[in-house]
Amino acid sequence: MKTDALTGRARKTKLDLMPYLLVAPAILLIFLCLIFPIFSAVKISLTDATLLKYDHAKWIGADNYSNFLKSGTFLKVITATLIYVIGSVVLTYSFGLIAALLMEHTERYKFLFRSLVILPWAVPQVVLVLLWKWMINPQYGVITYLTDVLGLLPSHFSWLSDHRFAMVAILMTTVWKQYPLSFLMLMAGMKGIPKELYEAASIDGASALRKFAHITMPGLKYVTSGLILLLTIWSFGNFVIVWLMTQGGPSDSTAVLTIYTYLNAFTFNNLGYGAAIGVVCLLLSLVFSVLYYYIFIKKMGTE
């Protein structure tokens, strides 16, 4: 009897530990790839570390943060970051929504339409940037030619050399890369809206605009909340497209926080200062995400 009781207790203990053993590899991976690098970045940001004297860096406290906040480029970098994040999120969501609505009301060639819309998502970022830089080239770019013919911009206009239009070019490239994800998520959300609601609205004489405002958008609120949160986090962390397009120029007009972090850490050899800017970027992204969660997602969960 004692042996059976001990065996049963051992089996129960093993079963109780099983969930923790299954989750342990994922927790370890998160720690190694996320938590540890964040703590390392915070530690480096509190020193005067450079690439050449990393092992002999001196503790300077919050001086790097103070210097960044007092610098003349602080407001310019924060402004560029907010313009990029808000612009890319709003435009990516809008283009994805338009594409999803067109797809929903297309009867023929749905597979072809879906394939064409998703294509930018499959193209590597480097190739996509090269394609857009070719299209806005001052000498032979097709977009430059069209804006010239229509009289919208001067002849041989250089998008990436103009501090106003450089960000526009980056946003066009970013939106073109990201909107297929928005399209897929919103289209999936539309599939979950009962068709009976639209049929009942049609019987009541509701217009297409009223159906969109009172059925489609409320039906997409949960998908929209998650999508906007993802797009915001990705936009704060985007580096490749901005770097390949302008490297932060001209005159730091497109120097978002990720670019400014890289420039200070690896180009200007000021690793501690660059790490401090990176931590500021992380905190800003975290603040936006937490605020968005409590204002929108938690509110919807209580409805």
Residues 6 or more apart in contact with residue 240 via CB below 8 angstroms: 125, 126, 129
Q: 256 to each of 11, 82, 188, 213, 261, how far by Cα in Å?
A: 55, 8, 32, 35, 9
If one counts every other C-beta atom within 10 angstroms of the C-beta of residue 209, the result is 8
Q: 179 to each of 152, 185, 199, 257, how far by Cα in Å?
A: 25, 10, 29, 22
> What integer pLDDT is reported at residue 3 of this predicted model?
54
> What integer pLDDT is reported at residue 299 of this predicted model?
60
């797809």: which residue's tokens? Answer: 103
Q: What are the pLDDT digits (tens) for 148-192?
A: 999 888 888 999 999 889 999 999 999 999 999 999 999 999 988
Distance CA 149, CA 155 (A): 8
Q: What are the pLDDT digits (tens) for 94-148?
A: 999 999 998 888 777 777 888 888 888 889 999 999 999 999 999 989 999 999 9
Closest residue by Cα to residue 259 from 70, 72, 73: 73
pTM of the model: 0.86
